[in-house]
Amino acid sequence: MSQIKLAPNASGTGIFTIDSPNSNTNRTLTLPDATGTIITTAGGAAISGTTGTFTGLVDISAAGAGQIKFPATANASSDANTLDDYEEGTWTPTITSDGGTITSSTFTNGLYTKIGRIVCVSGLVTLTNVGTASGNLQLTLPIASANDNWGGAGAEILAAGYQVAVCGSGGKLIIRKYDWSSLWTNNHGFRFTAVYPT
């Protein structure tokens, strides 16, 4: 027969209490056949070192709760139903052009969110001095893309108000004018959003 051992800590002076609920029904608590920690914080339960399985609603809506933390480096899963990564932050890309050189530009409101394999990015790029730039506007990504088969939407919002196409090319985010004519005009600004796979 297995045994249950209560081992006191020689350095502690507190009293550890196991309290029964107000119930007229017999209850059974089955411990896992593994070493780990069952209770980690006051009022919170967790199992460390093993995989926990929940068969009902997992409610994290209480005040002071509502957070799930993932490791800085994703622990990738091959299971299609397993969420293995989440990350969010600010983003400042390197801004270049297909040809020539941009004399000066600014980038503001750069945000990104990664959920699983999908990244959503947004921002506002302003061409303060286009210099000799030509072709498409290019922005580096906060997280590398898996391919170039993705896109987004955007518009010039500071002067002319025209739409721009947003897509992936060469591992970068590309912005071009909707009719493929030149977008290289001083002080034009492009607000955009795009979604891509990793």
- Residue 173 scores a pLDDT above 80: yes
Query: How far is CA 38 from each of CA 48, 51, 57, 116, rounded to the nearest angstrom?
Result: 7, 12, 19, 28
pLDDT at position 67: 83
Q: What is the pLDDT of residues 80-127, one digit of tens each?
A: 888 999 999 999 999 999 999 999 999 999 999 999 999 999 999 999
Instruction: Look over the chain and give the mean of its residue pLDDT values, rounded to a whole number.
Output: 88
Please, are residues 110 and 95 in contact by the beta-carbon 8 Å criterion?
Answer: no
pLDDT at position 135: 96
Confidence of residue 155 (pLDDT cuts 50, 70, 90): very high
Question: How far is Cα 77 from Cα 28, in angstroms, rounded to an integer?
Answer: 34
3-state secondary structure of 155: strand
pLDDT at position 143: 96
Tokens, residue 155: 């518009």
Higher pLDDT, residue 134 or 71: 134
Question: How far is Cα 189 from Cα 125, in angstroms, rounded to an integer?
Answer: 6
Query: What residue spans define the domains of the chain?
Result: 89-197
Question: How far is Cα 118 from Cα 150, in angstroms, rounded to an integer?
Answer: 11
pLDDT at position 168: 96
3-state secondary structure of 52: coil
Question: How far is Cα 108 from Cα 11, in angstroms, rounded to an integer?
Answer: 54
Please, are residues 140 and 120 in contact by the beta-carbon 8 Å criterion?
Answer: no
CA angle 26, 27, 30 (to 5 degrees): 145
pTM for the model stands at: 0.74
- Residue 47 scores a pLDDT above 70: no
